[in-house]
A and B are shown apart, each in its own frame.
Chain A
Amino acid sequence: MAAGAQNNQGEIFIKNVTKIYDPEGVHVVAMKDCSFDIAAGEFAVIVGPSGCGKTTLLNAIAGFDTITSGEIYLDGELISSRDRQIKPDVERMVVFQNGALFPWKTVMENVIYGPVVQKRMKRSEAVDAARDMLHQVGLNGIEDKYPEELSSGVQRRVEILRALINKPKVVMLDEPFRGLDAVAKTVMHEFLMDIFCESPRTMFFITHDLDEAIFLGSKVIIMTTRPAQVKKIVQVDLPWPREHHLLGSQIYLDLKREVLEAVHEEAKKAFEAGEREMA
């Protein structure tokens, strides 16, 4: 681990996970025999064709949904299997695709929500901690604003801070930067990079953006088209913290070609499958 995991928590084993949805008798096999591991403190990025079942996997790890067979372990503890599903908790924090900051709470109230509701901190302690965090990333002065008064880039950063203040073992992000423009995205990448290098913890990051995947990830897991399986795992051995000039380097371009080829193959399959379904 280039970034150096400070703690060895947040190790995820995904073993032969299968998920079959059964809406109205139409079986949709979202995942089939999907297996891979994420080491503690590793920044894992999941890419794959849309609708391939990436979010299904996230939901299973987070405890939002069940799986049909297989096992998921977090630090050796079985958290999801056919017969067992551990309810969502603060160890596995999710940042949602469309953002889920409570619109009726101010930025400060949002960030301190977790520690206060878990009775882990007194309100005043939580406020201090939150103010420190916001200050550290240059987001001061917005504590009393409501989320919808802020740009979506700032909203996303606040939501990530709301997750991190709980010191979870795993942070799961489901295409968190979708819909942001290219400039805002680079700001987000640096923000996430700073946070990750500051205190590395296991990341489970879903995206469509291959540059984002390679820039952020310590490994990129490419999924096949539905039913989702691991197509290829690409280790990204770039130095930490990642910097934007890396995007022009030869080693980066080689990695990108490798990822792109695998993704393209699957995208083509998905497209053909789509055409078959249409026909």
Chain B
Amino acid sequence: MMSRLKARVTDPQLLRALIGILVFVSLWYLFTAVLNLPRFKLIPNPIAVLKDWFSFTPASGRSIFTKVYYLDIAYSVGRTLAAFALATILGVSLGLLMGWSRTFYDFTFPIVELLRPMPPLSWIPLAILILPGVEIAVVYVTFIAAFFATVLNTLLGVFSIDKNYFLAARCLGSRPKDVFMNVIVPGSLPFIFTGLQIGMGISWMSLVAGEIIAGKQGLGYAIYEGYFLYQFEHVISYMFTLGILGYISSAAIRAAGRKLMAWEARRRGA
């Protein structure tokens, strides 16, 4: 136990990581607070950011000890979760259906290909205009981002399945329903999870843009507000907050993937 801890502490990789981060933060401090380089004048230094982020009485009114901070997080997370859940349910089912039925694929794929190249954020004006309420527009933009990534990867997943598994399943007496549940769904899972991972990334990005352009609350909105109110410390602390949330959500997807695809994990372990 002790020796493992010791190994951890003296592990050059960890040490180097700490040094790397320290150098980055020091340079940031040097450029902003000490040297006051021309373009860095307006950028807050790391100590100011940390002070503001962890202060009981932050100048911006937003720190880990204020209710607003968590309200902002709750808004953003709530929107992302709603959009992502919808994108997963619709995207996976559509992708599986397209992979399962040639006819369905022939009819739907051209439409997907027609709509897919439009960046999710180009939907913003139309979404605000047409959908009832800005809230739904923001969720829609977040949804559409993850949706196409999920559909496409699910479809690729179905196409990636070795043909022999289908033949074997038919030999063994499967009806189409059984083939769907026992070959198509598990066979495409690895690709589905890749799609979810990508979708989650684009979702967060689109959410921030949606909140900046159309939102009333949430982290993206607060970042932009901070910019207008000259509270640059919380612009940066919120950027990192978004980074942490993004990291947690993709870690959660990875964990879910490991849980659902035990066979993949064991293969990698072996």
Contacts and interface: CB of A to CB of B under 8 A. Distances in A.
Given A94-B168, A100-B162, A149-B270, A117 B262 contact: no
Contacts of B165: 100, 102
Interface string B144-184: 00000000000000000010110111111111001000110
A64 B166 CA distance: 10
Contact of B186 (A62, A104, A118): A104
A132 interface: no
A102 B162 CA distance: 10
A96 B267 CA distance: 21
B171 A90 contact: yes
A88 B261 contact: no
Interface string A82-104: 00000111101110101010111
Secondary structure of the B contact surface, majority rule: helix
Given A87-B170, A94-B167, A118-B173, A104 B266 contact: no
A113 B179 CA distance: 11
A79 to B, nearest CB: 14
Interface string B253-270: 000000001110011001
Interface residues of A, number: 26
A19 interface: no
* Most chain A CB inside 10 Å of its own CB: which residue of B169, B174, B263: B263
A148 to B, nearest CB: 5
Q: Size range of the interface on B?
A: 20 to 34
B205 interface: no
A64 B172 contact: no
A68 interface: no
B173 A90 contact: yes
Secondary structure of the A contact surface, majority rule: loop
B266 to A, nearest CB: 6
B173 A104 contact: no
Interface string A56-78: 00000010100000000000000
A236 B69 CA distance: 83
Interface of A: 62, 64, 87-90, 92-94, 96, 98, 100, 102-105, 113-114, 117-118, 146, 148-149, 162-163, 166
14 contacts: A90-B172, A94-B171, A96-B168, A98-B164, A103-B263, A104-B187, A104-B261, A105-B263, A113-B172, A117-B174, A117-B182, A162-B172, A163-B171, A166-B173
7 closest cross-chain pairs (CB), A and B: A104-B186, A118-B173, A100-B168, A100-B164, A114-B172, A146-B263, A88-B170
Interface of B: 162, 164-165, 167-175, 178, 182-183, 186-187, 189, 261-263, 266-267, 270
A102 B182 contact: yes
A108 to B, nearest CB: 13
Nearest to B162: A100
Contact of A88 (B171, B175, B178, B189): B171
Given A88-B167, A94-B167, A100-B164, A146 B174 contact: no
